[in-house]
Amino acid sequence: MSPKSIPPFRRRKLGRRIRELRETARMTLEVAAKQLDMTRFTLARLEKGENRMDVHVARSMMDLYDAYDDGLIEEVRRAQKPGWWREHGIQDRGYFGMEDEADQVYEFCLINVPGLLQTRGYAEALFAGSGRMSDSRISDAVNARLFRQRRLVAEEDPLLITAVIDESVLRRQVGGASVMARQLRQLAIAASWPTVTLQVVPFSAGAHASMDGAFSILTFAEEPPGAYVSFQTGAMHIERSDQVDSAMAAFDRVRAVALAPDESIRLVARIADGYERA
């Protein structure tokens, strides 16, 4: 699935909101579209978040559905604004907008440290290792990754993360021993923050529920949760409740075989000691 196939989160959220207004008014797509002087196809795309909506259309919808939705106009304006990541030259694959609106992230990582917990040196080595990015793109990607981390220490609207990582993440030398030592020391520090819960799945746990890949689940104050999976050529955003529930069940199963948070921090510290002696 290409980045363009995933509408921005704010537009999807807005689309759900206007669809609910229409359904509450007990009006079909065909009837509503005709009254709004647009095609059924156009209205359907607006309700899916695939088309950009303006304030005038939103006001017309509220008049037609006879339902004033306090805050809808502001929601439209927010959906029109470009995301902060655009300033860093980043094309969103559907994740940044989700994370901006989320109140909690559950993330399982099999290969690398979660982006929200990476140091600059580690992130630079990780992006450079892909062999697909220029120096300027690496710089943009790293700056964007560090910018995301601000919410972990924000006083207002902080983001909570529960990260479960495989022990292989700690053992893989991304950037070499010195980069790994600094990364793991920072990881241990971050794990002590009230917004961060870190657990490590040790090698001794053997096969577990998520050996086939990493994934994230995000929860929201006023929206249903969603799951997100990225891969070599794109990303997949999952909204179906049964699929999200299945992903959460898998996360709970792998978390159950992980070390407790305090044991995990001790393991991180021991491995960091080894890198520092190398």
pLDDT digits (tens, 9 = 90+) for 119-129: 999 999 999 99
Quick one: 203 and 75 in the same domain? no
**Domain CATH code at residue 59:** 1.10.260.40
Residue 92 has pLDDT above 70, yes or no: no
For 214-234, b where at least 16 C-beta lie within 10 A, e where not — what string? bbbbbbeeebebbbbbbeeee
pLDDT the model gives residue 3 = 39
pLDDT the model gives residue 38 = 94
CB 140 within 8 A of CB 89: yes
User: In this prediction, what percent of the chain has a pLDDT beyond 90?
Assistant: 65
Mean per-residue pLDDT, 71-91: 79
Quick one: 49 and 153 in the same domain? no
Quick one: 176 and 68 in the same domain? no
pLDDT the model gives residue 7 = 60
Q: How far apart are CA 68 and CA 65, in angstroms?
A: 8
Quick one: 231 and 166 in the same domain? yes
Quick one: 198 and 73 in the same domain? no
CB 64 within 8 A of CB 36: yes
Tell me the per-residue pLDDT of 198-221, one tens digit each, with 9 for 90 and over: 999 999 999 988 888 899 999 998
- Boundary (domain end) residue, out of 20, 52, 80: 80
Per DSSP bridges, beta strands 196-201 and 234-238 are unpaired
Quick one: 130 and 248 in the same domain? yes
Q: Which domain holds residue 36?
A: 3-80
Instruction: Specify if 85 maps to a domain.
Output: no
Instruction: Specify if 208 maps to a domain.
Output: yes
Instruction: Specify if 88 maps to a domain.
Output: no
**Domain CATH code at residue 178:** 3.30.870
Count, residues in the chain: 278
Residue 17 has pLDDT above 50, yes or no: yes
- Boundary (domain end) residue, out of 51, 80, 109: 80
Quick one: 153 and 219 in the same domain? yes
Instruction: Specify if 273 maps to a domain.
Output: yes
Quick one: 50 and 110 in the same domain? no
Quick one: 146 and 242 in the same domain? yes
Tell me the per-residue pLDDT of 31-49, one tens digit each, with 9 for 90 and over: 999 999 999 999 999 998 8
Q: How far apart are CA 162 and CA 160, in angstroms?
A: 7
- Boundary (domain end) residue, out of 25, 53, 80: 80
Instruction: Specify if 244 maps to a domain.
Output: yes
Quick one: 67 and 117 in the same domain? no
Quick one: 182 and 256 in the same domain? yes
Instruction: Specify if 8 maps to a domain.
Output: yes
Quick one: 117 and 230 in the same domain? yes
pLDDT the model gives residue 4 = 43
Q: How far apart are CA 259 and CA 225, in angstroms?
A: 26
Instruction: Specify if 190 maps to a domain.
Output: yes
Instruction: Specify if 89 maps to a domain.
Output: no
CB 194 within 8 A of CB 136: no
Domain count for the chain, please give it.
2
